[in-house]
Copies of this chain bind each other. A is one copy, B any other.
């Protein structure tokens, strides 16, 4: 008898194994098997993106966001990174009996504001209440539909020499949640980066036809996401640790808690892989938007080490940067 562990939901290698062996094996079909952030579906002469995510973040309020806005932006971003314009969102709430009604009001207010900011409509929903102790305050599922306007984003597009860009400092979300949860005060308050990415991504895809692929580095962080990108590809990825952007507060917290920023969840960042020649235009487009002001090239696609991510460390060494293993930070989203 084996039991489900926290690592099975970590976003890392163990979760990928669980998903492959339990879900993908049984549900197998051509759309699901693409393993994109959203399913891409043909409806008449249009293509839509369809995605789902459940949010169980603890605590439900944290610096820079809450479970409501997080759930809204998270699904909006999963659609956005697939080249879709997010349009319609569903909300399924599981609420613990006894939750203060004003807490629910705050969360729903936040979702409504987030929907307005992201210019999407919440069009359908469901509410369940479970008895005290049967869930932890509130869990929210958001599913979303977007209209695909750019449909040539695939890890199969990668070419040696491509640049790897991240849209800003990493790990803010994870550290904001952890510091609130554990009641740790750092010198600088770190706020979650949770934000909608559609506007910036749209600009990028308008500014260049040479974007190969993009994905938001949520659970498992930049390291895990780069592994997801590299592992099915015929190429490797090299990351230059010295140029990976992270705030001082995040670095301090990581040192204190023994964490690596490269494995911390972001909720308002995107990794973009693009042709080297398009780098300048893409960075310009990204930096023109508030959410992308801190955009930076952090690595490149290589012919060496196919399927692997290599970290060129600050100290001048090289090592394999694997997927997250274990359960570094549970209930981060």
Contact = CB atoms under 8 A, between A and B. Distances in A.
Contact of A330 (B15, B87, B131): B131
Contacts of A88: 31, 39, 41, 50
Given A90-B51, A131-B330, A122 B1 contact: no
Tell me the number of copies of this protein.
2
Interface stretch (A139-147, A234-242, A265-273, A302-310): A139-147
Given A2-B101, A46-B46, A91-B52, A39 B124 contact: yes
B122 A27 contact: yes
A285 interface: no
A94 interface: yes
A129 B4 contact: yes
A124 B52 contact: yes
Contacts of A32: 121-125
B145 A101 contact: no
Interface residues of A, number: 80
Contact of A129 (B6, B44, B91, B123): B6
Interface stretch (A106-114, A152-160, A194-202, A286-294): A106-114
Contacts of A99: 3-4
A331 interface: yes
Contact of A141 (B4, B5, B29, B52): B52
Contact of A96 (B4, B45, B124): B4
A22 B52 CA distance: 23
Given A45-B45, A136-B134, A143-B92, A39 B127 contact: no
B127 A23 contact: yes
Interface of A: 1-10, 15, 18-19, 22-23, 26-27, 29, 31-32, 38-39, 41, 43-46, 48, 50-56, 58, 87-88, 90-102, 104-105, 108-109, 111-112, 115, 121-131, 133-136, 139, 141, 143, 145, 147, 330-331
